[in-house]
Copies of this chain bind each other. A is one copy, B any other.
Amino acid sequence: MAKTRVGIINVTGYAGVELARILCQHPEVQLTSVTGRSAAGQLLDDFFPHLKSTGLTIEARLGEVDLAFSAMPHKESAQEIMPLIEKGLKVVDISADFRLKNPDDYTQWYGFTHPDPNLLTKAVYGLPELYREKIKSAQLVANPGCYPTGAILALAPAVKEGLIGPDIIIDSKSGISGAGRSLNLTTHYTEANEDVSAYALGGHRHLPEITQELKLLSPESSLAITFIPHLTPMTRGILTTAYAPLVTGKLADGKKGEEELLNLYRDFYKDEPFIKVIATPPHTKHTWGSNYCHIHPAIDHRTGRLVVISAIDNLVKGAAGQAVQDMNLILGLPETTGLESLAVYP
């Protein structure tokens, strides 16, 4: 039986090449077309020497496929995707172009008028832990951003179960690959190495995405979220530390409350193949190269606050891996197919 043909639009960025790595090892689909503007005409495995021989040439336009991933930058991604949707293709979009339900958010946060608000209503937010069933029947899946993946997975159980009040602070620490493969002084080795810094203090584009999803989990609450991203000198990984006041009376005092909290999280994620709720603070290193998310919920008893820490690989669970997880759901494959690789430690 012929394998499903899949393609990648813009394979030359880090999300694109990570998709290529995963898909060319995937046992149930065949990567048959990849595009890239400046690299068009080159052999994929010359361009990326770590890939195995696929025989693929990087093309200027996508060839015939059954399902397409778009790893284009936002705004351009929508333009690539709309005609594919028109033709009836299944699409997983790595960009932000179909994540936000409110078209005005695109004007405010991304600086462009969304070209197809109607399609926005049909797109499904591709976080399997929250929208598994909808993803299975979606034509267009909007793959979550890297920071939102870590933040939403850290907070979803607490928000959903009404454990915390609305004052949420999310402090995230990202590796540099999250800033992409395009050249920039900020990500020049000599500038980023041996440095930690915060950025986007005026508001990062992932804030409306985090806010949208947490509000959907607790529609009656009026969340006040501060989200500050930081760059840390490593290639891959996001560690998210989330803080919120615990609602009194929901958890027992002391040690017992911590156990209840851990159990509540474990229960929430009990059927999730890629979520590991752990009893000690996670290390980004333990998720390196894998689709896993490690989560540790804790209580600051002195102040009555919840502190939850999550770790992911921003290019896998935070981008390409999650997109393949979505693809598996769309195609009716076992959700973990092609994603079983364990983290490469140390």
Contact = CB atoms under 8 A, between A and B. Distances in A.
Contact of A196 (B199, B284, B343): B284
22 contacts: A49-B276, A50-B286, A50-B287, A50-B342, A167-B245, A173-B173, A175-B194, A181-B185, A193-B233, A193-B346, A194-B236, A194-B284, A196-B232, A196-B239, A198-B241, A201-B298, A202-B298, A226-B303, A228-B307, A233-B234, A235-B346, A289-B289
> What number of copies of this chain does the assembly contain?
4
Shortest 5 CB-CB contacts between residues of A and residues of B: A195-B285, A50-B343, A183-B183, A289-B344, A50-B345
A190 B181 contact: yes
A194 B234 contact: yes
Contacts of A343: 50
A171 B300 CA distance: 13
Contacts of A110: none
A282 B201 contact: no
Interface string A286-309: 111110001010101011110101
A223 B235 CA distance: 37
Interface in A158-181: 167, 169, 171, 173, 175-177, 181
Interface stretch (A17-25, A80-88, A112-120, A136-144): A17-25
B169 A189 contact: no
Interface string A49-64: 1111000000000000
A275 to B, nearest CB: 13
Nearest to A285: B195
Interface in A305-319: 305, 307, 309, 311
Given A228-B241, A287-B50, A21 B190 contact: no
A153 B191 CA distance: 25
Contacts of A48: 345
A318 to B, nearest CB: 14
Contacts of A278: 49
A256 interface: no
A21 B342 contact: yes
Given A234-B194, A288-B344, A226 B189 contact: no
A235 B193 contact: yes
A188 interface: yes
Contacts of A190: 14, 176-177, 181, 187, 235, 346
Nearest to A171: B171
Contacts of A305: 169, 226
B224 A302 contact: yes
